[in-house]
Structure 1
Amino acid sequence: MLLDPKTQPAIDALIWHSFPDEKDGILADEIWKCGTLVCTILKNPASKSGEDLVNIPYSMIVKRGKKVILAVSLEQEDLRSLSYKLGCSLRELQEDYHTKGNFAELRGYVYTNQVREDLGPYEGGMDLQSIRVFLLETVCDTFDILSEPVQLQAEDEVAGKAH
Structure 2
Amino acid sequence: MIVCPDETLREISSKKPKSKGEFLSIKNTSIRMFNKIGEDFLEAINNFDNEKSDTPAEQPGSGNLPANIRETYSLLKKGYRLKEMAQLRKVSESIISMQIETILEFDPEVNILHLFNSNELKKITTEIEKGYDDLKDLKHRLDDSISYPMLRIAIAKYKFSRASSLNFQREQ
TM-score with structure 1 setting the length? 0.24
RCO higher in structure (CA 8 A, sep ≥6): 1
Greater share of helix residues, 1 or 2? 2
